[in-house]
Amino acid sequence: MQHFSSAPPPHFSTAVYTAGDYQYTADVIINNTTFLHLDVTNYFTVTCCTNPCVLVVDCPTNKAVSCATNWTFDLPTVQTNCCGTNYSINIFGNDVTSNTGPCSMSSTRTWLITDCNGQISYCSQTVTIAPPTSYTLTFQPGLTYLIANQLNNAGGNAANVLFPTMPDGSELIFYNCTNGYTVYYFDSGSPSGFDDANGNPVPAPPTLSPGQGAFLIPAGPVTNTFTGTPVCPPSPSPLCPCGTKSLVSYELDCPGTFEDITGFPPQQGVEVLRWNGSGYTTNTFTGGVWTLGTPVLNIGEAAFILVPCPINPTNPLPVINIGTLSGTTVAATFNLGPGNGTFTFSNNAWSVGGNNYVLQYTTNLVSPNWMTVCNAIPIIGYTFTNVGPVNFYRLQQQTNQ
């Protein structure tokens, strides 16, 4: 804030002046009419007084991070000459996310800063999240690793290109639904760089493309850097038929969930088997939740996935002891699978024609909460339809109490 210690000059400009002396040329005014301009140097003095409270906010710069990074927004920096630390920084509104796909997501956060005198300022930061173009894995000799290549290498995805310094004698083991396991040995003396399990040179090196997985047993210590172009957008990894394990990875070099890898949500009984160095840690989806927590594969990691086949009930229905209902332990359970399914009951080996049954369902066989669908169902010729998610059903013979 400025004020004049002497009279302001004629036709004074509204410009901001700092403290000091300033020159101006006076006009001679007679009878309110300017008629003469005199080259007379005049002076006026400006003195400044300090604003009692100045709020200065430095916004964090926008940044780009890898999808593998546990990133956070950076807070604004606040300077105030009278409030000290007596100010507040609060998130203003909701974070704005755009391009929500895994390849170029961005998120913007805005803050409202208020000081002790009620002065306010707004600040924002935008973070762009994208997959990296390289990642590095370190291997120790004699250990077994379950690995994935998640970048399209410019020189191709042949194993000799992906692992240029792998020592001779190292093993690379592939798996597919039909042939099971296939073993390759690194051999720099072979034209293709590889031998088969019998020590014979193979005509061409194996390839490890994004979405695939393989076991690696290095013969010596190796630090291997995978480089290339991220697969954007990623596609679901092809799976083996239901009931058969699939060795897969996320196509994109980002941490991947079951949904990321397969393109569909988990159903009852799905398993993700992750290699822990000596065996498998199995996450099973049951009752709507994952045992051991939601599995998330790391960059460069592959895993086995097992999707069970829906249990399409047949006659006779499987009979198991599943608990007491109306004084009997005889029950039948079956699963119609995800989505809609229709099943017609007919007479079977364990039923007595004409008896009535209670039809119940649950979504969880571990801690079932059986809900009654219908009472007094004749076992012969009854049809019902399951609509919605996976449900497990049981038939319980009614008895008189």
Q: Both 75 and 211 in a single domain?
A: no
The one-character DSSP state at 259 is H
Q: Is 151 inside a domain boundary? A: yes
- CA 337 – CA 10 distance, rounded (Å): 90
205 and 140 assigned to the same domain: yes
**Environment class of 76 (CB within 10 Å of its CB; exposed 0-12, middle 13-18, buried 19+):** middle
* Residue where the block lists tokens 């901001």: 16
Q: Of the residues 76, 104, 130, which one is the last residue of a structural domain? A: 130
Q: Are residues 280 and 230 located together in one domain of the fold? A: yes
Domain assignment of residue 358, given as a range: 319-397
Least-confidence region, from 202-216, 233-247, 256-270, 378-392 = 378-392
Tell me which residue has tokens 């690696």. 216
pLDDT at residue 52, rounded to an integer = 72
CATH of the domain at 96: 2.60.40.10
Q: Are residues 150 and 255 in the same domain?
A: yes
Residues 295 and 218 in one domain: yes
If asked whether residues 149 and 269 sit together in one domain, one would say yes
Q: Are 106 and 126 in contact (CB under 8 A)?
A: yes
Give the separation between CA 101 and CA 103, rounded to whole angstroms: 6
**Considering only 63-67, 124-128, 135-139, 170-174, which range has the smallest mean pLDDT?**
63-67
The model's pLDDT over 37-70, given as tens digits with 9 standing for 90+, comes to 445 555 555 555 555 788 999 999 999 888 767 7
Domain annotation covers residue 369? yes
What backbone torsions phi and psi does residue 322 show, to the nearest 5 degrees?
A: -125, 5
pLDDT band at 242 (very low <50, low <70, confident <90, very high): confident
The answer to whether the beta carbons of residues 172 and 161 sit under 8 Å apart is no
> Do residue 167 and residue 221 come from a single domain?
yes
* 112 and 243 inside one domain: no
Secondary structure class of 158 (helix, strand, coil): strand
* 303, 187: one domain: yes
Q: Are residues 184 and 123 in the same domain?
A: no
Task: Please name every residue paired with 152 in a beta bridge, in sequence order, or none if there are none.
Answer: 229
Are 184 and 203 in the same domain? yes
Average pLDDT over residues 184-188: 96
- Tell me, yes or no, whether 240 and 304 share the same domain: yes
CA dihedral 368, 369, 373, 375 (to 10 degrees): 90
pLDDT tops 50 at residue 185: yes
Assess if residue 314 is contained within a domain: no
Structural domain contains residue 330:
yes
Give residue 73's pLDDT band: very low, low, confident or very high (50, 70, 90).
Answer: very high
Domain termination residue (choose one: 130, 155, 181): 130
Residue 2 in this model has a pLDDT that exceeds 70: no
Does the residue 210 lie in any domain?
yes
Number of domains in the chain: 4
Task: Quick: pLDDT tens for 338-384.
Answer: 433 444 444 333 333 444 556 666 766 666 677 776 554 444 444 44
Q: Which of 288, 309, 330 marks a domain boundary? A: 309
Domain membership of residue 348 (yes or no) is yes
- So what's the pLDDT on residue 53? 82
Confidence of residue 148 (pLDDT cuts 50, 70, 90): very high
Q: For residue 67, how many other CB atoms are within 10 A of its CB?
A: 19
In three-state secondary structure terms, 118 is coil
Burial class (CB in 10 A: 0-12, 13-18, 19+), 283: buried
State pLDDT tens for residues 317-326: 433 333 333 3
8, pLDDT greater than 50 = no
Q: For the whole prediction, is pTM greater than 0.85? A: no
Nearest CA to 261 out of 150, 153, 337 is that of: 150
Radius of gyration of the chain from its Cα atoms, rounded to whole angstroms: 37
